[in-house]
Structure 1
Amino acid sequence: MSEQHRPLISPLPKSWPFEEAAKLSTHVGAREVTADRPALLETGYGPSGLPHIGTFGEVARTSWVRQAFTKLTGLPTRLLAFSDDMDALRKVPDNVPNQDMLRQYIGKPLSRVPDPFGTHESFAAHNNARLRSFLDGFGFEYEFASSTQYYEGGRFDAALKRVLEVHDEIVAVIAPTLGEERRATYSPVLPVHPRTGQVMQVKMDAIDPVAGTVRWTDEDGETFETPVTGGHAKMQWKADWAMRWYALGVDYEMSGKDLIDSVRLSGRICRILGGHPPAGLTYELFLDQNGQKISKSKGNGISVEEWLRYAPAESLGQYMFNAPQRAKRLFFDVIPKATDEYLAHVAKAKTLAAEDPALLTNPAWFIHKGEIPADAGSPVTFGMLLNLASVANAETPDVLWKFIQRYDAKATPTSCPMLARLVDHAIVYYADFVRPTKHYRAPDAHERKALADLAEALRGLEGGEVSPDACQNLVFEIGKTHGFEPLRAWFGCLYEVLLGQKEGPRFGIFVALYGIAETVALIEAALTRNEGAVA
C-alpha cells in the first residue's frame, strides 16, 4: 500500500459509507490522487420526468461515501451529478402538463424538447433545474454536468472516436442480450437526424474511425454520413455509460438493483475502450405503498416536496442512510419513524466526543457533514407531537406549544428551532394522515375497570410535580394489577380507546406533556362516550 492510500483511521468504522470508501480507496490503487486529478464520484440522472426521491437518495448516499473517503484517506474528491439530457424522449410522463405538445417531440433529445411547464428553454432544463434546486437547498457539494453540453462541447470527442475503433467488439458484447430483430440493426452509435432532430436507432452501413463518421440510411431510404463528434450523435445508453466512465475517469458510481446486468455490460465495454470500470454499490429499490417500484414518469411513491411538507430534510437523510441494500417502502407512513430515528441519533451523537470512533458510525455525523449543530435535536419526539395533535385536535402550532411549555418551560421556537419545525410539520401531517384515519373502539368490561382505576390513580397525583417515569410506572402497575398479559395488550387498549390508533407514545411522557388533569378527562370522556357499549 502506498503512503498516500494508508488509512488515517483504524479499525474501519462499521458503517456502510466507510465500507464503500475502502472499496474506492482500493479502486484508485497506486495512482496518485491530487487536486488536479481527485477521486471522481459520479451520480446519474435521467431527466425524462420530474426528479424523484430516489434521485436525491443516490446523491445523498454518494456524498456520504465521499465524506467517509475523505475521513479515511485525506485525499481530494469531486462529485459529478450527471444529467443524461441528450437521451431521447421515449414516452410522455403521466405527471406533467401539455402532454399533447410533448407527444410531437417523441424521439428527440430531452434538451431539445420544449418545456411543458413553460419556465425553461427545454424539458431537460426544467427538470435539471428542479434537481439542482433541491440539491442546493440540502447543501450538497457537487458539480452539475449536462450530457448535451459534454457532447456538443467536444468533451467526449476523443472517446467517441475510440468507440468507432472498437465498434464491432462493443456490438459483440451487447448483441447476445438483444432480440433477433434488434440484434440485426444494433450499433452503439445513435446519430441525430440532421433534418428531423430524431435520435436514430438504425443499422450502420459503414464505420470510419479515421474520419470519425458513420454512414446510415433512414426509413425513407436517404443515406447520411454523420460525424460522431460535436453532438451530431450520441451513444446507446449502456455504451454511453461505459464511454463516460472511460472519458472522465470515473472512480465510483452506485446504481440500483435493476441495473446489475447493465453495470456488468457497461464494465466490459469500458475495459474494451481501455478504461477501468468504477467501484460502486448496488442499492435496493424503493417501493410504493403497493410494493411497486417508484418511477419518475408515474410519479408514484413520495416526491421530495411532499416529504418536506411533512418532516424536516434531515429525516429524509436518515431514511436514505438506513440499509441501502435492503428494499424499503417509501410512503407517507414511514416519515414519523424516520424523523424520530434521526432525533435519536442526534441525541446519541451529542454524548460522544469528537474523537470517539462511535461517532463515525452515527448517521447524524453524515447527515450534518461531520459537525452536529448545537441546536440540532428536540426534547420532544415527532411521534409524541402527532399524538398531542391527535388528542387536542390541534389545528395551529400554538395548541401544541401550550402543552410543550408546561412540560418544559424553557422550550421556545427560538431556543429549540428543530422542535419548532417539528411542531409545524406535525400539524400538517396530523391533518392529512392522522385525523382522517382515527377510529376509537369501545373498551370491553375488563378494560373499562382498568381505565377507571387509572383515572382514579392519576387523579391522586394532581397538584404535584410528577415525572414521566413515575407516570409510566403507574400505568404499568395498573396493567399488571388488572392481569393484562402480555402488557402490550394494556397499552394497545390505551392507544385504541383513548387515541383512536393502533400504536402510540410512551404513555408516561404523554401524560407529562398532555397533563394529568387532561389525561383523566380524556379517559373519562372515553368511558362516557362508550358507556353501555362493550367491545
Structure 2
Amino acid sequence: MAKDNNNSGGPIHWADFTAERIIKQIGDKDSYVLASGITPSGVVHFGNFRETITVDFVARALRKLGKEVRFIFSWDDYDTFRKVPLNMPKQEELKKYMYQPIVDTPDPFDEHESYAAHQEKAYEEQVKKVGVEVESIYQAKQYRAGTYKEGIRKALENRDVIAKILNEHRTSPLADDWQPVSVYCEKCNTDHDIHSIKYSNNNISYDCKACGHSGTEDLEITSRVKLPWRVDWPMRWAYEKVDFEPGGKDHSSQGGSFSTAKEIVKEVYDWKAPVYLQYDFVSIKGAGGKMSSSTGNIITVNDVLKIYEPEMVRWIFASYKSNVDFAVSFDLDVVKTYEDFDRQERLVYGKEAGNEKKVNMAKRVYEISQLNGDDKIPSEMPFQPSFRHLCNILQINDGDISKAREAYAGEIKNDRDERRFSERSERALFWLENYAPDDFKFQINPTTPAISPDEKQGQYLNNLKSLLNSEWDSIETDKDLHEKMYELMHDVELKPGDIFPLMYNILISREKGPKLAGFIRTIGKDRVLALLP
C-alpha cells in the first residue's frame, strides 16, 4: 500500500502485505505475473471465485505500488471430461464424450463452440461484473499448438527425478513403467485406459485398451499429449514466469500439489516456485448444500450478485484474511451484512466515528472494493437506503421499485445514488421473493379484514382515526406518532399487547411486523385510514 494511504505509513491490508512480500522475495522489478485458473468441468461456482478475487486484490496492491501486473487465468480445458454434472441438459449425449478432452465436448446449450467454452465465457462475464479483468489462457490451444512441447520433453527426460519427488509423498510408489504424460488415443480420443506408454527418440508410443488401438505420437507435432496436473503446474510456472499464485488448503498441505510442484519446478525446469498464499474455503449460508460443479449443486457469482451489490461482493471478501473460511449469507443475516457494509462506508467518509486503525482499515477495504481498477472512491458518500427499511418500502408498494423510489426522491443526488438505489432495490426484492424468512415478509391488505375488536379496542381505533385525520401533518417523526399512540392506549386503559397485534392484523393480517409507528407513517394516512374499521 502506498505510504500516504494511512497514517501509520505502511501496509495495513493482507493484500498489501502480500504485494510487499512478492517484491521482497522475487526482487524489485517493473512488472509481475500473477496466476490463477480452473478446470471448466462444470459451471464455475462461487467457491472458486475466492482464488480469482484473491489474485485480483494482490494485483491491485502491486499496481498501487506502481508496478505493472499481468493477471493470467488458465483454463485447463484440455483436462479429461470425467463426470457429467447433474444440472446439465442432454445427459445421455454428454456421456458419449466421457474421458475425452473437455474442449472436444459439445455445448449442451448450443450457445458456444464447446462445453468448455460455455463454462469459460460465463465465468469471464461474471467476474467482469465485480471489477475483475483477467488474461485468459486456454490450455487446449496451448497444448495443441505445441507451445509446451519443450516442457513435455523435459518432463519425459527427467522421468526418474519427477517419480522420486512424487513417491516421497505417496503411500505406494508409482509403477515402474509410469510416465509423466497422458495421451489421448488417436482413434477414440480418450485417455482413461491408456497403457504401456514409452518414450524413445522423441516418440511416445502407447496402447489404448478402450478401443484396442496402438499408436505413436511424434513429440514435435503431436497435439494429443499433455502433462498430468502435478507436472503441468510447475511447467507452466516456468513457461509463464509466474511470480505469485495462491492455492486452496487442499493444495497447501505437506505433500500436496504445491509442495511437489515447488520441487519439480526447481529440479526439472530450473525455475523457482512463485510466492504462494493459502486461501480457505467460502460457503453460502441459507441456500443449502455444499457447492460442487460435478454434482450440479452450485451457487455462481451471478447468483450472489442477485443478493449483493457488486462492490459489496468485493467488500465481503476483502474483509476477511485469505486464510480464514467464512460464509456468505443468503438468509436473514443478509440484512446484517448490508448494515455492516453501510457502517463501514460511514467510517470511510467520516460520518461515523472510529479509532484510527479501524478507520484506516475500513478505507483500504473500501478502496479495493471499488469496481474501477485504480481503487478511487467516490468524492461523496453514496446514498444509503437501509436494506431493512427498503424491504418494507418495497412491500408496502407491492414490489413496485419506481413507486418505492418516491420515498427516497429527496435523498438521491447523482448517478451513483441512482445506481445504489436501483441495485439495492432489485436485490432486496429478489431476496424477499426467494430467501427472506416468512416472518419478514408481508403484504398490505387490500381491504379491511374481518376482525372483532372489543369495546375498548374499538374506542382506541376511533381515537386513532381522529388523531391521524387531525394531526397527521404535524407529526414529524416516528417517535412523535409512537408517543401519541401510547397516550391513546393509556386513555382507554389498554396495553401494547392489546393493540399491536390488532393493528398488524388490520394492516397485514399478521400478529407482528415492522415497528408500528414508522410502519403507519410509511404506509401513509389515506391507506391506513381506509383499512381501519
Q: With structure 1 as the length reference, what TM-score do the two structures score? A: 0.76
Alignment of 1:304-323 (within 5 A): 304-323=301-320
- Offset at 1:179? 6.2
Shift of 1:160: 1.7
Q: Distance in 2 between matches of 1:513 and 1:166?
A: 78
**Once the two structures are superposed, what CA deviation does each residue of 1:174-213 show, in whole Å capped at 9, x if it has no partner?**
23545659756643211121111113564555334xx443
| Cα-to-partner distance string for 1:420-451 (whole Å, 9 max, x where unaligned) | 221232223222233745489xxxxxxx9xx9
CA distance, structure 1, for counterparts of residue 202 and residue 480 of structure 2 = 79
CA drift of 1:306 comes to 2.1
SS at match of 2:182: strand
Show CA shifts across 1:363-415 (max 9, x none).
3444344111357732312232123334x26321134224334xx46668885
Q: CA deviation at 1:514?
A: 2.4
Task: For structure 1, list consecutive stretches of 5 or more residues without a partner in the other structure.
Answer: 441-447, 482-492, 529-535
> 2:345 is matched with which residue?
346
SS in 2 for 1:373: coil
Show the counterpart of 1:41.
Answer: 34
The match for 1:217 among 204, 207, 226 is 207
Structure number with higher relative contact order (C-alpha < 8 Å, ≥ 6 residues apart): 2
Letter in 2 for 1:255: G
* CA distance in structure 2 between the aligned counterparts of 1:291 and 1:185, rounded to whole angstroms: 45
SS in structure 2 opposite 1:281?
strand
CA distance in 1, matches of 2:513, 2:394: 12
Q: Is the 8 A contact 1:47 1:127 kept in 2?
A: yes
Q: Which moves more between the two structures, 509-518 or 11-20? A: 509-518
The yes-or-no answer on 1:67 pairing with 2:67 is no
TM-score, length of structure 2 as denominator length? 0.76
Question: Residue 78 of structure 1 aligns to a residue in which SS?
Answer: strand
1:251 matches 2:243:
yes
**Cα 1:140–1:509 shift into 2, 3 Å:** farther
- Quote how far apart the aligned CAs of 1:502 are: 13
Change (3 A) 1:15 1:520: farther
* Structure 2 residue 265 is the aligned partner of structure 1 residue 270: yes
Contact preservation (8 Å) 1:439, 1:500: no
The DSSP-based 3-state class of the residue aligned with 1:280 is strand
How far off its partner does 1:65 sit?
0.8
Q: CA RMSD in A?
A: 4.4
**1:372 and 2:346 matched:** no
Q: Does 1:287 align with 2:297?
A: no
- Tell me, in whole angstroms, the C-alpha distance in 2 between the residues paired with 1:231 and 1:509: 72
**What is the alpha-carbon distance in structure 1 between the residues aligned to residue 508 and residue 148 of structure 2?**
61
Q: Which amino acid aligns with 1:84?
A: D
Cα offset for 1:247?
Answer: 1.6
Deviation at 1:332, TM superposition (A): 2.1
1:216–1:344 CA distance, 2 compared to 1 (3 A): same
Paired residue secondary structure (1:371): coil
Give the count of matched residue pairs: 486
Q: Secondary structure at the match of 1:367?
A: coil
Indicate the residue corresponding to 1:485 in structure 2. none
- In 1, are the aligned partners of 2:13 and 2:361 still within 8 Å (CA)? no
Secondary structure of the 1:300 match is: coil
The percentage of counterpart residues that share the same residue type is: 20
Taking the TM superposition and a 5 Å limit, the aligned residue runs for 1:124-273 are: 124-178=116-170, 180=172, 183=175, 186-200=178-192, 202=194, 205-208=197-200, 211-219=201-209, 223-228=214-219, 230-260=222-252, 261-273=256-268
Q: Indicate the residue corresponding to 1:51 in structure 2.
A: 44
Amino acid in the other structure paired with 1:425 = R
Matched residues in 2 for 1:361 and 1:222: separation?
60
Are 1:80 and 2:72 an aligned pair?
yes
Specify whether residues 303 and 203 from structure 1 end up closer, same or farther in structure 2 by C-alpha distance, changes over 3 A only: same
Q: Residue 20 of structure 1: SS of its match in structure 2?
A: helix
What SS is found at the alignment partner of 1:310?
coil
Aligned match of 1:23: 21
**Are the equivalent residues in 1 in contact too, given 2:100–2:191 (CA < 8 A)?**
yes
| Letter paired with 1:350 | Y
**What amino acid maps onto 1:214 in structure 2?**
I
Say whether the 8 Å CA contact 2:89–2:109 is kept in structure 1.
Answer: yes
Flag the 1:49–1:464 CA change in 2: closer, same or farther, 3 A: same
User: Helix, strand or coil for the counterpart of 1:254?
Assistant: strand
Task: Pick closer, same or farther for the CA change 1:172–1:346 going to 2, 3 Å.
Answer: same
Equivalent residue for 2:452? none
Q: CA 1:376 to 1:263, structure 2 compared with 1: closer, same or farther past 3 Å?
A: farther
Which amino acid in 2 is paired with 1:267?
K
Tell me which amino acid in the other structure corresponds to 1:264: S
Alignment of 1:403-414 (within 5 A): 403-405=407-409, 408=410
Residues 371, 284 of structure 1: alpha-carbon distance in 2 compared, 3 angstrom cutoff: same
Deviates more, 1:323-332 or 1:124-133: 323-332
Contact 2:280 2:325 in 1 (8 A): yes
Report 1:467-482 matches (<5 A).
Answer: none
SS at match of 2:436: helix
Secondary structure in 2 aligned to 1:114?
coil
Farther off after superposition, 431-440 or 102-111: 431-440
Q: Deviations over 1:431-476 (max 9, x none)?
A: 2233745489xxxxxxx9xx99xx99x97985336457x679979x
